[in-house]
Amino acid sequence: MGLYFLCSLAVTAVLLFTAPTGLTLRVVDQMIGDCEYGEDIADMVYFVKNIVNKKLENMYDSRIGKYVGFDENGIRAAKHYNKQAWKMALRRAEVETLCRYNARLFRRSTLERQVPPTVRVHQTKPVDYGERNVIECSVMGFYPQDLEVTWLRDGTEIITDVSFTDVLANEDWTFQLHAYLELIPKRGERVTCRVDHSSLTESLEVDWDTFALDAKYLKVVLGTISFFVGFTVAVGGGVYYWWKQRFDFSPVGRREQTSSYHSDL
C-alpha cells in the first residue's frame, strides 16, 4: 500500500512538472445553414451542417428530410435529431421561410432590379469653336452595372480619342460611369452620347448642348446689329434734321415763304 502511494505520487509529480502550462481543451461547434438553388427556386435544397473542430459530423438534407451522420458521434447525434418532431418540423418549414423567402428577396433586389440611368453631356472647360476640347458624358444611377456608351458625331460612331472610367459603385446600390471624347468642335455639327442599358426599351441619346458656345456669337451678332441700327437711326435723324432746316415745309414756314414772295411783288 505504501509502495503504491509512493509510485502514484511520483507519477503525479512527473506529470505536474512536465505538462505544458496554460493547456486548455477547446471545442469549436458550428451550425451552418446552406440554401442551394438554380434558375427555379422551387428546386430549393436546404442543408444544416453541424461542424465540430472543422469536421463535418452530421447534416440535415431537405432532399431526404432527415439528418445524416458521418462519424460515430455524428451518427448518434443524427438519430437523436431525427426523433425530435419539433426540430424536423422546423427544418421543413425553413425551406420556405428561410431559403425561398430570402431567394425571392435577393432576386428582387439584385437579379430582377432595373434602374434606368440619367445622362448629362457637357464640356469639361470653356473653349471656343476650332479649339481642342474634351466632352464628358456622365451616366449616373443605373442598375445593373452592365452598360454600353457610344459617342456619335452627326450620327456616325466615333472610336478614336475616346476614353472611359471604370464602373463606380454608389451608396444606394447603383452605379455610375463617365465617358470622355476629345475633339475640335465645329459650328453646326451634332455630338451625341448614346447609352444602352437593360432598363431601357431603346437607346438613350443625349446631344451636347452648344448653347454656351453659340451664345458668344449671338452676343456679338446682336451687338453688331444693335450698333448698326443705332448708327442708322442717328444718321437718319441727322439727315432729317438737316433736310428740315434746309427746306422748312411746316405751315408756319410756308406762310413766311408766301409773305416774302408777295412782298417782293
**DSSP tag of 23:** -
* Parts of the chain with a pLDDT under 70: 1-25, 212-231, 233-265
Query: How far does the chain reach from its first CA to its final CA, in angstroms?
Result: 182
CA 128 – CA 185 distance, rounded (Å): 8
The domains of the chain are located at 27-111, 118-209, 214-260
CA 179 – CA 138 distance, rounded (Å): 7
CA 204 – CA 138 distance, rounded (Å): 13
Q: Which amino acid is residue 218, in one-letter code?
A: L
CA angle 21, 27, 33 (to 5 degrees): 155
CA 94 – CA 91 distance, rounded (Å): 5
**Amino acid 10: pLDDT:** 44
Name the phi and psi angles at 116, rounded to 5.
-70, 150
**Whole-Å CA distances, 193 to 72, 201, 204, 211:** 67, 17, 8, 17
Question: Which CATH code is given to the segment(s) 27-111?
Answer: 3.10.320.10
**Amino acid 221: pLDDT:** 53
Nearest to 87 by CA among 77, 100, 101: 77
pLDDT tens-digit map of 46-86: 999 999 999 999 999 999 999 999 999 999 999 999 999 99
CA 142 – CA 197 distance, rounded (Å): 8
In 3-state terms, what secondary structure has residue 174?
coil
**DSSP tag of 165:** P
Question: Which CATH code is given to the segment(s) 118-209?
Answer: 2.60.40.10
Q: What is the CA radius of gyration of the chain?
A: 45
Torsion sign across C-alpha atoms 236, 239, 245, 248? negative
